[in-house]
Amino acid sequence: MFRPIPLMESCRDRYGPIFSINMGSATVVMISDPCLAKGVITGDPETFRAGETNGLFRPVVGSHSILLLDGAEHMRHRKIMLPAFGGGHAQRFGDQVREIAEERIAGWQPGQRLKLRDEMEAISFESIMRVVFNDAAEGRHDRLRELIPEMMDRCDSPYTLIPWFRKSLAGLSPYARLMKVVRQVDEALYEAIDERRADPLLQLRDDVLSLLLRAQQEDGEGLGDRAIRDELLTLIMAGYETTTSALAWSFERLMRSPESMRRLTAELEQGKEDYLNAVVQETLRCRPVVPVVARRLRTPQEIAGYTLLAGTILMVSIYLVHNDPESYPEPERFRPERFLGGTPEQAAWIPFGGGVRRCLGASFAQLEMKVVLREVLTRVTLRASSQAPERVKRTRFTFAPAGDAEAEVEGLVSSATPLGRRRFSAAPDSGTVQA
Ligand code: HEM
Ligand 1 centre to CA of 362 (Å) is: 6
Tell me what percent of the residues of the chain surpass a pLDDT of 70.
88
Q: Are 87 and 333 in contact (CB under 8 A)?
A: no
Q: Residue 434's pLDDT band (boundaries 50, 70, 90)?
A: very low
Atom of ligand 1 nearest to the CA of 289: 5
Instruction: Give me the mean pLDDT over the 171-182 stretch.
Output: 85
Q: Residue 312's pLDDT band (boundaries 50, 70, 90)?
A: very high
DSSP state of 48: E
Instruction: Give me the mean pLDDT over the 68-91 stretch.
Output: 90
**∠ CA(122), CA(95), CA(260), 5° rounding?**
70
Where does 4-433 sit in CATH, by number?
1.10.630.10
Is ligand 1 within 6 A of the CB of residue 290? Answer: yes
Is ligand 1 within 6 A of the CB of residue 351? Answer: yes
Instruction: Give me the mean pLDDT over the 375-394 stretch.
Output: 93
Mean pLDDT, all residues of the chain:
88
Asked whether the predicted pLDDT for residue 89 surpasses 70, the reply is yes
Name the nearest CA neighbour of 100 among 111, 92, 88. Answer: 92
pLDDT digits (tens, 9 = 90+) for 12-61: 999 999 999 988 778 899 999 999 999 999 999 999 999 999 988 898 99
Ligand 1 centre to CA of 96 (Å) is: 20
Q: What residue ranges do the domains of the chain occupy?
A: 4-433
Contacts of 294 (CB under 8 A, 6+ apart): 28, 50, 53, 54, 313, 314, 315, 316
Atom of ligand 1 nearest to the CA of 246: 1
Is ligand 1 within 6 A of the CB of residue 293? Answer: yes
Which pLDDT belongs to residue 218? 66
Asked whether the predicted pLDDT for residue 314 surpasses 90, the reply is yes
pLDDT digits (tens, 9 = 90+) for 234-270: 999 999 999 999 999 999 999 999 999 999 999 999 9
DSSP state of 198: T
Ligand 1 centre to CA of 354 (Å) is: 10
Which pLDDT belongs to residue 138? 56
Pocket-testing residue among 77, 359, 397, ligand 1, by greatest number of atoms within 8 A of Cβ: 359
pLDDT digits (tens, 9 = 90+) for 324-339: 999 999 999 999 999 9
Distance CA 405, CA 403 (A): 5
Instruction: Give me the mean pLDDT over the 413-424 stretch.
Output: 41
